[in-house]
Amino acid sequence: MAEFFHRKLERSAIGFVLAIVGVSAIGGMVEIAPLFTIDETVEQAPDMRVYTPLELAGRNIYVREGCYACHSQMIRTLRDEVERYGPYSLAVESSYDRPMLWGSKRTGPDLARLGGKYSDAWHVAHLVNPRDVVPESVMPRYGWLQRDNLRIDDLGRHLKAMQRLGVPYTDEMIENATADAMGQAAPDSGYAAGVAERYGEATNVRVFDGEPGRLTEMDALVAYLQILGRLTDAAHATDAVETGALDAAPAETE
Amino acid sequence: MVAGLTRSERQLALVILTLLGLAGLAMAAAGRGDLMGAHGFVVLVFAGAVAWVLMAGFYAPEPGEERLARYYDDPTKAGIVLTMGWAVFGMFFGVWVSALLAWPELTFVDQAWASFGRMRPVHTTGVIFGFGGNALIATSLHVLQRTSRARLPDQLSPWFVLIGYNLFCVLAVTGYFMGVTQSKEYAEPEWYADIWLVVVWVVYFLIYIRTLQRRQEPHIYVANWYYMAFILVVAVLHIVNNLALPISLSAARSYPIYSGVQDAMVQWWYGHNAVAFFLTAGFLGMMYYYMPKRADRPIFSYRLSIISFWGITFFYMWAGSHHLHYTALPQWVQTLGMTFSIMLLVPSWSSAGNALATLNGAWHKVRDDATLRFMMVAAVFYGISTFEGSFMAIRSVNSLSHYTDWTVGHVHAGALGWVAMITFGSIYALVPWMWKRKTMYSPRLVEAHFWLALTGTIVYVFAMWNSGIIQGLMWRTYAESGTLAYSFIDSLVAMHPYYIARTVGGLFFLAGASVGAFNVAMTIRAARQETVQGSAADVPATAAVQPGE
């Protein structure tokens, strides 16, 4: 019977096309559509702030250089990962991340909680030549980040696109995007005050690359790396971390 | 090849190329000061180069009506050449990036383009889309005509698909070098390249459906089921995953409409089904045609074909979430992904078993014929890597394997052992048919290629199994005191010998592909040198490979 049915189906090109589309559509619809409608999918984090223009520019450099190929930004709910990297990642922490950079491979360590772990000077030295600070490292050198000036004239358009997609950037933030990018890396300039005003007092405002007077790609990338895991404290507040009650932790091995 | 086109087809081609060149010019002008401008010049030069070839034969005499009595194979021939070219290119960059993980200073130049992060997608795109995609287009156009006993509906649209698709690959690869990427794995090209691919793909689908409508066979042969699933589902995956908002129409950068956890789910729904429908379904189509043809045996079981086809089409689409075990993705989705990944073993092994059982009665040919052996080994690796995939999708196994080289090893067991082997086998079967030769230029070089490829794959996969499992164990090992026993850098240092071994394995595989490219080139050269043309007309496929006969 089934074979008879299939012999009929095989005789119709259009029927076969429709059958393939129908059969293949089910899985994705069942798994993806509810992620937009079930509220528990993403936690609430009222304290979460958006990336500053400089941090967003740094994130775009991270994207451009393909850092996701070797670094994850997703700490799994496993004991050894929490002890190595910090509290496991929550969905809300990447809710402004377009694209998400969870990664799939750790040739280098996870970076989800990198922010604040090392000094700016360490990051700059490490990016210029990783083997100067970690002799065994196999990471590429990124010397050109220090050489190249950061492009900031189009940052308003970046923020505008994000706003259209639902990221809560205000019109004021969009208007001042270029000035805020300059101000965040130049604490003595007149632009610095506006950054704290729009993005919060806790925002890092300093010369990230150690070279005052020039706004380089290094400034932006280090500013981004220093904010990783620090847009919200939600992950530090979860009960699971405090009690150590993780989902599943096949931690010890023979 | 231009001589095979009619006058009106040549004129239409020139119009399309002019429009393409103008589009490139517009991108170059509007995108001044942005990387899109550079891509505008790439489009312009590409259109100009193709137009140059077209113009060289533009005034050649028109082909006669007798062409309609033959299959149209020129795009397949060009596709085979492109396939071998991309193979060497993509695998070369694979060897290079793998060497960088053993010797990080091996960049020769202190330039951004030569850093690991930019060259790694050049490797993956080069082999998956350049090598794999061209092989799929070339073989599908060949198989489609034979199994339908119908000529392609026109001569221009297959060229549009083949050349347009390669423009997409060129935009992708040049983009990564310059820093144009979405950083979405296996979907790195930016929005304008993505839109262009949709245009190409719609034409590809239309060729397929129009040819099937004109078929002289009552049934649609099983290879075409797979090729159709490949075309249709890849279109859906590509469009849904790449929905993004550009910051402006003159800038290369865009932001995806999904963020965070939803983006992760869409990305891996895409990513895993790119494996399923790009790297599996299409290549199963290849296997279901070229293996029975080469072995001269009918497919073992029609029913198994049906089970495996619909099983793969249905189950695979659920499996992507197994890439996100223990992450911030809700657990119910993870569990669904795991469950369906395990069920996938049934259709996967149905295909692998069906292929191997087809060889029953032809094992002496497998022994003597390296071409058929390529296909047999491909079926074996297909079975191995699908088993491994289902196994790694189990949550507790995944807790060890995820983020490690084990995943890389698994992917290459599939990519080298299955995809590349079935492709090389099919090409070695196809090239003599296409260029009307009895055999390849050198059957001994085919034999050499086989052993280079098999050795390379085995060295590669064993190196990565070892490094991945060691890595995973080191990350989770605790010392007596209850603290983590190893720092991250300890685990990296432990990888060094395996990374060297992996590069050696890759070198073997690249050497094999280079030998293959040389062999194909020499076969074509020999065919060209033979002045006597007009040998026996290409015979339509025999009924021997029709399903259930």
What pTM does this model have?
0.94
Q: What is the SS3 assignment for B501-514?
A: HHHHHHHHHHHHHH
Cα separation, A85 vs A228, whole angstroms:
12
- Cα separation of B520 and B54, whole Å? 24
**A138 reaches B (C-beta below 8 A):** yes
Length, in residues, of chain A: 254
DSSP H or E segment with residue B246:
strand B244-246
B78-127 residue pLDDT tens? 999 999 999 999 999 999 999 999 999 999 887 899 999 999 999 999 99
Closest CA–CA distance from residue A237 to any residue of chain B (Å): 16
- Asked if the Cβ–Cβ distance from A80 to B475 is below 8 Å, we say yes
B540 prior amide bond cis, ω within 30:
no
Short-list B548, B385, A24, CA closest to A16: A24
Closest CA to B372 of B363, B381, B380: B363
* DSSP summary character for residue B478: B
Smallest Cα distance from B324 to chain A, Å:
9
Provide the 3-class DSSP secondary structure of residue A245. Answer: coil
A95 touches chain B (CB under 8 A): yes
Which phi and psi (to 5°) does residue A74 adopt?
Answer: -160, 105
What are phi and psi for residue B256, nearest 5 degrees? Answer: -60, 150
CA distance B131 to A227: 40
Q: Which chain B residue is nearest to residue A137, measuring alpha carbons?
A: B489
Give B176's contacts in chain A (Cβ within 8 Å). 66
pLDDT at B133: 98
Of the candidates A23, A140, A247, which has its C-beta nearest B116's C-beta? A140
Task: Give B40's contacts (C-beta < 8 A, 6+ positions apart).
Answer: B24, B25, B26, B27, B28, B29, B30, B31
A147 shares contact with chain B (CB less than 8 Å): no
Which residues of chain A make contact with B262, given a CB cutoff of 8 A? Answer: 32, 35-36, 41
Distance of CA A167 to the CA centre of its chain: 14
CB contact under 8 A, A89 and B328: yes
| Nearest Cα residue to B228 out of A165, A9, A188 | A9
The per-residue DSSP string of B253-271 comes to: -EEES--HHHHHHHHHHHH
What pLDDT does B1 receive?
82
Listing DSSP states for A120-149 in one string gives HHHHHHHHH-HHHH-TT--PPP-HHHHHSB
pLDDT in tens, chain A (254 residues): 677 889 999 999 999 999 999 999 999 999 999 999 998 899 999 999 999 999 999 999 999 999 999 999 999 999 999 999 999 999 999 999 999 999 999 999 999 999 999 999 999 999 999 999 999 999 999 999 999 999 999 999 999 999 999 999 999 999 999 999 999 999 999 999 999 999 999 999 999 999 998 999 999 999 999 999 999 999 988 655 444 445 444 444 43
Alpha carbon distance A55, A57 (integer Å): 5
- The Cα B273–Cα A128 span in angstroms is 38
Local structure of residue B245 (DSSP, 8 states) = E
pLDDT digits 0-9 by tens, B283-332: 999 999 999 999 999 999 999 999 999 999 999 999 999 999 999 999 99
Query: In chain A, which residue's Cα lies nearest the Cα of B336?
Result: A31
Who's near B185: CB < 8 A, 6+ residues apart?
A68, A104, B124, B267, B271
The residue behind tokens 């026996």 is: B536
Count Cβ atoms below 10 Å from residue A201 Cβ, excluding itself: 8
**Whether the predicted pLDDT of B30 surpasses 80:** yes
DSSP secondary structure code for residue B244 in this structure: E
- Look at phi and psi of residue B204 and say left if phi exceeds 0, alpha if psi is from -120 to 50, else beta: alpha
- Tokens 């797979």 found at: B226
pLDDT per residue as tens digits for the range B365-419 = 999 999 999 999 999 999 999 999 999 999 999 999 999 999 999 999 999 999 9
CA dihedral of residues B221, B227, B229, B233 (deg, nearest 10): -170
In the predicted structure, residue B535 carries a pLDDT above the cut 90: no
- Residue percentage of chain B with pLDDT more than 90: 94
Closest CA to B476 of B463, B468, B486: B486
Residue type, B507: L
| Paired tokens of B166 | 């390669």
- Token pair for residue B332? 């119910």
Asked whether the beta carbons of residue B107 and residue A140 sit closer than 8 angstroms, the reply is yes
Asked whether the beta carbons of A94 and B261 are under 8 A apart, the reply is yes
Please tell me the distance in Å from A54's CA to the nearest CA on chain B: 16
**Are residues A80 and B478, on separate chains, in Cβ contact within 8 Å?**
yes
Report how far residue A141's alpha carbon sits from residue B431's, in angstroms, rounded to the nearest whole number: 44
Complete DSSP assignment for B463-477: HHHHHHHHHHHHHH-
Q: For residue range B436-481, what is the model confidence (pLDDT) as tens digits?
A: 999 999 999 999 999 999 999 999 999 999 999 999 999 999 999 9
Name all contacts of B91-96 with Cβ < 8 Å and 24+ positions apart: B91/B123, B91/B126, B91/B127, B91/B131, B91/B506, B91/B509, B91/B510, B91/B513, B92/B510, B93/B119, B93/B122, B93/B123, B93/B126, B94/B123, B94/B126, B94/B127, B94/B506, B94/B510, B95/B503, B95/B506, B95/B507, B95/B510, B96/B123
Set of chain B residues whose Cβ sits within 8 Å of the Cβ of A252: 476-478
CA distance B13 to B5: 10
The rounded distance, in Å, linking the Cα atoms of B192 and B43 is 11
Query: Is residue A82 within 8 Å of A241, Cβ to Cβ?
Result: yes
pLDDT tens per residue across span B187-245: 999 999 999 999 999 999 999 999 999 999 999 999 999 999 999 999 999 999 999 99
> For residues A42 and A95, is the Cβ–Cβ distance under 8 A?
yes
Distance CA B122, CA A25 (A): 30
- B488 CB neighbours in chain A (<8 A) are 84, 108-109
What pLDDT was estimated at residue A22?
95
A 6-25 → B contacts, CB under 8 A: 6-7, 10-11, 13-14, 16-17, 20-21, 23-25
User: Is A78 an interface residue toward B (CB < 8 Å)?
Assistant: yes
Judged against a pLDDT cut of 90, whether residue B530 lies above it is answered with no
**Can you tell me the distance from the alpha carbon of B54 to that of B338, in angstroms, rounded to the nearest whole number?**
51
CB contacts under 8 A, B 141-180 vs A, are 176, 179-180
Q: What is the interface pTM, i.e. ipTM, of the complex?
A: 0.93
B229 contact A CB<8A? yes
Instruction: Report CA-CA distances (Å) from B279 to A77, B87, B228.
Output: 31, 15, 13
Distance CA B222, CA B231 (A): 15
Q: Of B423, B424, B440, which is closest to residue B432 (Cα–Cα)?
A: B440
Q: Which residue, among B133, B120, B123, B118, has the nearest Cα to B35 in the 3D structure?
A: B118
B317 contacts on A by Cβ (under 8 Å): 24-28
Give the CA dihedral B25, B31, B36, B38, nearest 10 degrees.
60
Nearest to B26 by CA among B16, B37, B18: B37
**List of chain A residues whose C-beta atoms are within 8 Å of the C-beta of residue B484:** 80, 83-84
- What single string gives the DSSP state of each residue in B159-215? HHHHHHHHHHHHHHHHHHHHT-----TT--S-HHHHHHHHHHHHHHHHHHHHHHHT-
Exposure string of A19-58, with b = 16+ CB inside 10 Å and e = fewer, is bbeebbeebbeebbeebeeeeebbbebeebbbbbbbbbbb
